[in-house]
Structure 1
């Protein structure tokens, strides 16, 4: 009974995390990892997981949850015609490669490094989305030629290191490349699947036989967290997608940026202060 009572607060926290992450997945085109990672990091610290691997477990578990969330979110956006299949075909392979490389690199660095990467990237993206820069673009369209692989490789690599589905990076990158915000959000939802599959696989392999892992772990992926979070995110992602299509471009950008700003400041405080 004591074991059950000890696990109940963690289970409740994970269920709430799944609910918030699911709505945000559909609303912002993110895989929910921008919520799952920081909350799981706190939960794992409460339950005594060693700091050296805590972010690895949070990131790997988040990526596994995103596999299911992205399918639900991408389907909802595809039904509304906001997934750019042409772009998915052009960037898909590069994103897959970047995600696998990012997960391998992340497994070899300290958790504080992952926290710092998470916070800094989220802060940069938040400022971009909050500033009145909707009409600022870097090009008239998606780059081609020699520079074409750079954006998807960056998105895939950094996203798998952060445990996010790619929307956090894909949405601002695509808007800078002159893509409409609603199409960027919808396409980012499908990118989440391309990032989470190889990313989770890399963390599973690299985390095998680590004695510091919490109970219920498969490599760095904690299956208890996946079992509690993933179903709720899948159920609620379509709710967020419906809300997204009721907002205008500026409202959606401001909402995205405000949320990321709060998350990034919290993660940077934890990394550099406490």
Structure 2
């Protein structure tokens, strides 16, 4: 399908990237939770076929996470905050789960997938609202059994591939539950976002290749003009958000973002009805 990428449209994608970057840096969550809802709105406004709007938003979000994960992982590695042994044990489950997550999404129509995404946003809002309590009540031991990490990685990868996120909103609580120190949990989670994004992006490009309603400049469910606009600003603005986070109350920030996700979740569920 033909679709003209004007300067105004491209500027919107740049703005989405900046907003996603700032909020991701402020709240310590992946930009996918912001990018997917924003792309859903912009793709709908600019006339993309409703049959593929949700899938296209999710696939494009995952493609941007490839770039942001590389930057984030490099930073955490330099600070010695990535446990590469944990990463290796999580990765098999993550890769398989990501593939299955994309496959699950492709089997759902756009309205059903929006409803599932709305429920997921509400669950993430609950986790953010009670985030400090969940971390404080971590119960478990440092993981020693590979099957625990592989299974956990599979669930994280599945949800991430299905909903277009980097997995940090799930992997950090999982690692904290297993008594991994917070710094290592965050850094290792950032590293895990890369295999999630690579596998899920490739799967979206391949599984979405034969869709009849794809716009020009799309490879499967990845829309390249939005990808380029978002990655131009998401990485530098995430650093700005992280800097601001140090000067603002963490609990209030998390609760503010939780309320934002409640609004997003309710809107998506309403649209799915």
Alignment of 1:136-175 (within 5 A): 136-142=137-143, 144=145, 146-175=147-176
- Deviations for 1:19-64, whole angstroms, at most 9, x for unmatched residues? 1222344555544111110000000000111222111000000111
The 1:136–1:99 alpha-carbon spacing in structure 2 relative to 1, beyond 3 Å, is same
Alignment of 1:1-274 (within 5 A): 7-26=6-25, 28=27, 30-131=29-130, 132-133=132-133, 134-142=135-143, 144=145, 146-241=147-242, 246=246, 252=250, 255-256=253-254, 258-272=256-270
- Deviations for 1:230-254, whole angstroms, at most 9, x for unmatched residues? 122233344445556x479xx5465
- The answer to whether the Cα contact below 8 Å between 2:118 and 2:268 also exists between their aligned partners in 1 is no
Root mean square deviation, CA, Å: 2.5
Q: TM-score scaled to structure 1, two decimals?
A: 0.86
Secondary structure at the counterpart of residue 48 of structure 1: coil
The 1:226–1:126 alpha-carbon spacing in structure 2 relative to 1, beyond 3 Å, is same
- The answer to whether the Cα contact below 8 Å between 2:122 and 2:265 also exists between their aligned partners in 1 is no
- The answer to whether the Cα contact below 8 Å between 1:95 and 1:195 also exists between their aligned partners in 2 is yes
Unaligned runs of 5+ in 1: none
Report the number of matched residues: 268
Q: TM-score scaled to structure 2, two decimals?
A: 0.87
Cα distance, 1:218 vs structure 2: 0.7
Unaligned runs of 5+ in 2: none
The 1:260–1:115 alpha-carbon spacing in structure 2 relative to 1, beyond 3 Å, is farther
Cα distance, 1:183 vs structure 2: 2.6
Secondary structure at the counterpart of residue 6 of structure 2: helix
